[in-house]
């Protein structure tokens, strides 16, 4: 049995179900968020869907870990798959420890060899790939966005059951809850316009918002821009931020540090704009533009406005 833990049935969830299908076993889904997705899960390969009724937001992941631990043991799951994001990066290692299994993070490929899964994960900031065969199961794996083809709708159905979220001891106290910034999701955007230290000031990100809007995309940021307070943390792209896979990624005023490149490896095309012709970002770019970033942004905005 493969258990897929989801909060909804969006694009990341369908990719996780597609990855689960590669393991050649029956698939169960644990829904810790939107109960309306339960029926739909069957159409994407799940034979069972378990809907948990409760609040998973305020316990520092403890409620989710308790629910998944109980269900994985009951089902005898040999793997628990989760889409990779900030929430699951925190949950996965703790869940693996509870289950006495193995945590494998940032998984980009899964292959069966002699009936055993071989998990390929990104390492050293995306500079290398490591193949892992787990010594202890279940494997708790976080899946990199864009690495797996989404499950196709087959018209199947899943048996749906509802459960109450397990009570937790409140070891984690929620001090504050911050709403995410507005704007298109970076993980789902087809076009991302990212700014870095080369933009020089927070005001430049308002121009990036306009440019992204005209392109139908989302605004991202480098670690340096986030550390400077020019963009919120949930806009950060890179090893310690979001891993993205857009059709086009604009890196404007971004030098191309390895931690940033680790987050854009899935981009189909990178357009780099920098005044430094020797910036490392150009080695990863399909198109490189050596010019002032502000001039480039204003020129793009003017041309896009005139084209509409």
So what's the pLDDT on residue 122? Answer: 83
Q: Which of 85, 45, 51 is nearest to 67 (CA)?
A: 51
Q: 2-164 falls under which CATH superfamily?
A: HUPs (3.40.50.620)
- pLDDT tens for 233-266 read 889 998 888 888 899 999 999 999 988 998 898 8
**Between 239 and 175, the higher pLDDT residue:** 239
Single pTM value for the model: 0.74
So what's the pLDDT on residue 96? Answer: 96
Q: Which of 219, 260, 266 is nearest to 241 (CA)?
A: 260
- pLDDT tens for 130-171 read 999 999 999 999 998 888 999 998 888 889 999 887 777 655
Q: 191-307 falls under which CATH superfamily?
A: TPP-binding domain (3.40.50.1220)
So what's the pLDDT on residue 172? Answer: 60
Residue 182 has pLDDT above 60, yes or no: no
Residue 180 has pLDDT above 70, yes or no: no
> 141, 82 in Cβ contact below 8 A?
yes
So what's the pLDDT on residue 145? Answer: 86
So what's the pLDDT on residue 174? Answer: 62
> Average pLDDT, stretch 108-118?
92
Residue 65 has pLDDT above 60, yes or no: yes
**Between 205 and 155, the higher pLDDT residue:** 205
What's the pLDDT band for 97 if we cut at 50, 70, 90? very high
> Average pLDDT, stretch 117-142?
89
> Average pLDDT, stretch 191-203?
94
C-alpha pair distances (Å), 141 with each of 60, 191, 220: 19, 28, 26
Domain assignments of the chain as residue spans, ordered by start = 2-164, 191-307
- pLDDT tens for 40-49 read 888 899 999 9
**Between 34 and 121, the higher pLDDT residue:** 121
- pLDDT tens for 209-226 read 999 999 999 999 999 999
Q: Is residue 81 packed enough to be buried (19+ CB in 10 Å), middle (13-18) or exposed (0-12)?
A: buried
191-307 and 2-164 share a CATH fold: yes
Kindly report the average pLDDT of the chain as a whole number.
Answer: 89
What's the pLDDT band for 285 if we cut at 50, 70, 90? very high
What's the pLDDT band for 53 if we cut at 50, 70, 90? confident
């Amino acid at each position: 049995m493969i258990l897929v833990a989801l909060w909804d049935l969006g694009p990341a969830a369908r990719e996780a179900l597609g990855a689960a299908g590669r393991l050649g076993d029956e698939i169960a889904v644990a829904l810790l968020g939107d109960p309306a997705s339960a029926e739909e899960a069957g159409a994407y390969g799940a034979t069972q869907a378990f809907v948990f009724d409760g609040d998973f937001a305020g316990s520092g992941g403890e409620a989710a870990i308790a629910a998944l631990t109980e269900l994985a043991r009951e089902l005898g799951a040999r793997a628990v798959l989760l889409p990779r994001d900030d929430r699951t990066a925190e949950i996965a290692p703790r869940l693996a420890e509870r289950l006495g299994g193995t945590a494998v993070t940032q998984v980009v490929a899964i292959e069966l060899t002699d009936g055993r899964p071989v998990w390929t994960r990104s390492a050293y900031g995306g500079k290398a790939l490591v193949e892992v065969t787990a010594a202890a199961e279940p494997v708790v794996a976080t899946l990199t966005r864009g690495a797996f083809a989404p499950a196709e709708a087959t018209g199947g159905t899943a048996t749906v059951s509802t459960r109450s979220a397990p009570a937790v001891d409140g070891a984690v106290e929620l001090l504050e809850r911050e709403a995410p910034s507005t704007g298109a999701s970076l993980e789902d955007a087809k076009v991302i316009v990212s700014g870095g230290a080369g933009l020089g000031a927070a005001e430049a990100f308002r121009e990036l918002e306009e440019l992204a809007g005209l392109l139908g995309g989302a605004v991202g940021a480098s670690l340096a821009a986030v550390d400077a307070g020019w963009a919120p943390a949930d806009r950060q792209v890179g090893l310690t931020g979001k891993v993205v896979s857009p059709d086009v990624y604009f890196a404007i005023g971004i030098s191309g540090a390895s931690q940033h490149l680790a987050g854009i490896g899935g981009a189909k095309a990178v357009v780099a704009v920098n005044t430094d012709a020797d910036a490392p970002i150009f080695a990863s770019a399909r198109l490189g533009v050596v010019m002032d970033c502000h001039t480039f942004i204003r020129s793009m905005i003017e041309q896009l406005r005139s084209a509409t």
